[in-house]
Structure 1
Amino acid sequence: MIFEKKTMVINSEKLITDLIGKTKKNIKTAEKFNNLHIEKLNWRFDKNSWSILECFEHLNLYGDFYIPEIQKKIDSSTTKPKENFKSGILGNYFAKSLQPKEELNKMKTFKDKNPIGNELNNHTIERFILQQEQILKLLNKSKKIDLNKIKTAISISNLIKLKIGDTFRVLIYHNERHLIQANNILLKINC
């Protein structure tokens, strides 16, 4: 794996505002899926592909890890906000690799985050929406801390830490990515 030695510098308030906007959009997208019949939500193109609900459950599994981790770090922080956020090399790499692109590249998921075969229903989407509302609260709380100094563990290893600003980016871009995947599934169903 080759990491570009590039980081991103952005006004902290602008970053949080952007991520709040993306999260609100993710909630609206999820609400649209909540109106679909359970058969459509569980439809798969083939036995190895995910259904719409499996996309949501995958995101819920990540939310189960990141939301408490972020909450704990924000609640224990005594830092003051800084004007600018400078991403870390690794955090920027992860965020950029998850950022939605016109043509989504396939990525392997970890076994414990693979929802395939789980029995799922509309509560899966409702759970996702609740998690997004928690993320909005955390983003608002993060306006009072230094996004550069606070670091969180990541789901694949407690040894790797990302700046909390990068953690938010990774989590929210990941959500956007799989909502696009869910929309693509819906397009296949409606063809």
Structure 2
Amino acid sequence: MTLQNWYQYVHTTTEQVIQTLQQDWQNLTTEQWQQSPAVQSWSMAECLEHLNIYARFYHSEIKRVLAQAPAAYQKPVEQVHSNWLGKFSINGVKLNEAGVPIKKARTVKKFEPIISLQSPQHVYQEFLQHQHTLTQLITQAKHVHLNKLKTRTSLHPLVKLRLGDCIHFVVAHNQRHMAQAQRVAITCGFTTTASAD
């Protein structure tokens, strides 16, 4: 994938997420945020809190890697290459053309959303801030060696992703659960806006 194509996907997708949050979801009520379409199905707030948990870890990792990048790696690449782990991670969260996950995945317990101690509006505001932060990180990242720099993963400190793959994974994962939240809204009947993907 060319650097331009990589940047266009991660940047445009994140901007679309921000647009959906600000234009379509900003005025949802607490009841709407918490409404679940079925037993053991996530509400919209739970979808976003799940993404917040990921953002707290991965945004910190991306910031750390960018801040500690050796001088030799502070230059852009022409091609962003994925290794097998990057492809596996990204393909595991991708959507098809209809906005439906290609592969089903079981959520690891530590990433299950628990929002009983905070308001849905707080969850929303935190996620929105994470997306603004992500756009800044993406802009910084396009100027460094996305293939050589590596981030730790949430699976294990010794398991690492190339920076380009890490950001691609985070954005695709956001896209997956934004689409899930939109399906919740449509199923529950309080919005018909097209999803951010």
TM-score w.r.t. the length of structure 1 is 0.90
Q: Tell me, yes or no, if structure 1 residue 145 matches structure 2 residue 107.
A: no
Superposition deviation, residue 144 in structure 1: 1.6
Alignment deviations for residues 59-117 of structure 1 (CA, whole Å, 9 cap, x no partner): 00000000010001011112121211111111011101211123324311111110156
> How far apart are the structure 1 equivalents of 2:171 and 2:9?
10
- Paired residues of 1:58 and 1:114 also in contact (CA < 8 A): yes
Instruction: Classify the secondary structure of the residue corresponding to 1:152.
Output: strand
Q: Which residue of 2 aligns with 1:55?
A: 47
> How far apart are the structure 2 equivalents of 1:106 and 1:90?
18
Superposition deviation, residue 14 in structure 1: 2.5
> How far apart are the structure 1 equivalents of 2:142 and 2:105?
32
Superposition deviation, residue 44 in structure 1: 1.2
- Paired residues of 2:51 and 2:174 also in contact (CA < 8 A): yes
Structure 1 unaligned residues grouped into runs of 5+: 1-9
Q: Which residue of 2 aligns with 1:76?
A: 68
Alignment deviations for residues 132-151 of structure 1 (CA, whole Å, 9 cap, x no partner): 11111011111221000000
> How far apart are the structure 1 equivalents of 2:105 and 2:79?
31
Q: Which residue of 1 aligns with 2:166?
A: 167
Q: For 1:88, which of 52, 64, 83 is the aligned residue?
A: 83
- Paired residues of 2:92 and 2:105 also in contact (CA < 8 A): no
User: Residues 83 and 117 (structure 1 numbering): CA distance in 2 closer, same or farther, change over 3 Å?
Assistant: closer
Map 1:1-150 → 2, pairs under 5 A: 10-31=1-22, 32-77=24-69, 78=71, 79=73, 80-101=75-96, 102=98, 103-104=100-101, 105-116=103-114, 118-119=116-117, 120-150=119-149
Alignment deviations for residues 19-62 of structure 1 (CA, whole Å, 9 cap, x no partner): 11000001112222221111011001233111000000000000
> How far apart are the structure 2 equivalents of 1:190 and 1:56?
19
Amino acid across the alignment from 2:145: D
Amino acid across the alignment from 2:109: K
- Root-mean-square deviation (CA), in Å? 1.4
Map 1:172-187 → 2, pairs under 5 A: 172-187=171-186
Q: Tell me, yes or no, if structure 1 residue 190 matches structure 2 residue 189.
A: yes
Amino acid across the alignment from 2:29: H
Structure 2 unaligned residues grouped into runs of 5+: 191-197
Aligned residues: 182
Amino acid across the alignment from 2:27: N
- Paired residues of 1:53 and 1:121 also in contact (CA < 8 A): yes
Greater percentage in strand: 1
